[in-house]
Structure 1
Amino acid sequence: MPTILTFGDSNTHGTQPMHSRPSDLPRFERRWPVVMGEALGWDVIEEGLPGRTFASPDPEMGPHMDGRIGLFIALESHGPIDAMTIMLGTNDLKAHFEAAPEEIAQSCAFHLDVALSEEMQMRHGGFEPFLILPPRPHAAGCLAEFYAGSEDKAQATLDAMRAEAEARDVAVFDANTVISVSDVDGVHFSEDVHDTLGKAVADFIRSEIVED
């Protein structure tokens, strides 16, 4: 049975839309990686960390939010894998990072380059990385302060990320084509959205494998 690693942030972890901070709500049981795995009939390794960025330590949540650290740990502690998804970029749009779309895309490119590197490919006997463009966040609810201005640069960020993936011949799935974030906090997914995304990602991966 093939194995897929899902590398991401709170929306891969299954965090519920937050009405207040901090939230004591448990994560969803049927989060999108679980739904995807069921649809594909594959084993899933979930590596979703709330607060994770592509490449920025968080002044409040800690230095381990820098996704570059977690990426190496995930790829060197699990395996062998046959595929992986990377869905990050939402937290990079937080106002306090002041990151330009091009900077976020360059950090995305680093992750893709690590996944495609000879070292990592040999470690796992070859695997296919897929980039998932996350739904555009917006300032709302208890997270409004953190995501002030995110709408203004979200699409430019996604476009730049796509360009980096396409330059490396990495297949891209735009989650915005099938889902959107909750208006409760402007960032997280409702449970039905997890179901929709999981099935859509499964269809996308299945189609990419058939094409290959």
Structure 2
Amino acid sequence: MPTSPVILVFGDSNSHGTMPLSRLGAVDRHPPEARWPEVMGRALGYQVIVEGHPGRTTVHDDPIDGAHKNGVRALPVALESQRPVDLVMIMLGTNDCKARFGLRGWDIAASVGKLAQMVMASNAGPDGGAPGVMLIAPVPVKEAGVLAEMFQGGPARSRAIAPALREEAERLGLPFFDAGRVAAVDPADGVHMDAAAQVALGMALAEAVRGVLPVP
């Protein structure tokens, strides 16, 4: 009997399921039924492994929150510990929009592309091959609430990610999805999604994945 496909979600707090923050340092998390990776997995009937680390960047050591936030450092560990996986879904870039990094949308998209190429060069897929990869542009941020100063200038940076990442996905021959088409951040903190947005994103990505992986 064929096994169900396995998906690895590699993301940040919005993949972790962090709830909109009313105060800095809060660690509240949506219940599993309201986190987009779990919603997607139930809709598909696939196994979904979630590597969602709050504060994770694409390829940058965070000078305040620490080098362990760097996705380049974490991705090889996730691939080796979770293999074999059929598909790696990368949704990063939100934390790269923090004022402390001063990046452009193109820089962020190129950094996601670097992560994708690491997956494509790995042996973390079935039979020691490389997994498939899907690139997801994160929901654009707003300057709001307790995170407004941290993400000063972030809205413009984040809106530039999707078109640049679409081009990067085309260059690499990978499927692309723009999360901002189906979900939005909660205005309470301008960065995190509420439960309804998480569910909407999960259902939309289930449809997108059906075009990439076979239905079991």
Contact kept in structure 2, 1:58 and 1:65, CA below 8 Å:
yes
Range with bigger deviation, 164-173 or 147-156: 147-156
The Cα of 1:24 is off from its aligned counterpart by: 4.1
Structure 1: 4+ residue segments shifted above 3 A = 118-126
1:135-194 C-alpha deviation (Å, 9 max, x unpaired): 100110000001111122222222112211110110001111111110000000101111
Counterpart amino acid of 2:92? L
Does residue 138 (structure 1) correspond to residue 148 (structure 2)? The answer is no
Q: What corresponds to 1:109 in structure 2? A: 113
Q: How does 1:50-61 map to 2 (within 5 A)?
A: 50-61=54-65
The Cα of 1:118 is off from its aligned counterpart by: 5.3
1:25-84 C-alpha deviation (Å, 9 max, x unpaired): 244322111111100101111100000000111122110111001111111111211111
Range with bigger deviation, 114-123 or 77-86: 114-123
Give the 3 Å change call, closer, same or farther, for CA 126–118 of structure 1 in structure 2.
Answer: closer
Alpha-carbon RMSD = 1.6
Does residue 202 (structure 1) correspond to residue 206 (structure 2)? The answer is yes
Q: How does 1:65-144 map to 2 (within 5 A)?
A: 65-117=69-121, 119-121=123-125, 124-144=128-148
Structure with a larger share of its residues in helix = 1
Counterpart amino acid of 1:99? L
Q: What corresponds to 1:185 in structure 2? A: 189
* Cα distance in structure 2, aligned partners of 1:2 and 1:20: 39
Range with bigger deviation, 157-166 or 168-177: 157-166
The Cα of 1:122 is off from its aligned counterpart by: 7.0
Q: Which runs of 5+ in 1 are unaligned?
A: none
* Cα distance in structure 2, aligned partners of 1:78 and 1:159: 31
Task: Give 3-state SS (helix, strand or coil) of 2:49's partner.
Answer: strand
Contact kept in structure 2, 1:81 and 1:124, CA below 8 Å:
no
Task: Give 3-state SS (helix, strand or coil) of 1:96's partner.
Answer: coil
Task: Give 3-state SS (helix, strand or coil) of 1:70's partner.
Answer: helix
Q: What corresponds to 2:177 in structure 1? A: 173
Percent of aligned pairs sharing the same letter = 40
Task: Give 3-state SS (helix, strand or coil) of 1:184's partner.
Answer: coil
* Cα distance in structure 1, aligned partners of 2:30 and 2:128: 30
Task: Give 3-state SS (helix, strand or coil) of 1:56's partner.
Answer: coil
Task: Give 3-state SS (helix, strand or coil) of 1:188's partner.
Answer: coil
Does residue 6 (structure 1) correspond to residue 9 (structure 2)? The answer is yes
1:79-137 C-alpha deviation (Å, 9 max, x unpaired): 21111100000000000111122221221111111111154457744421111111100
| Superposition TM-score, scaled by structure 2 size | 0.92
Counterpart amino acid of 2:21? M
* Cα distance in structure 2, aligned partners of 1:76 and 1:199: 28
Task: Give 3-state SS (helix, strand or coil) of 1:192's partner.
Answer: helix
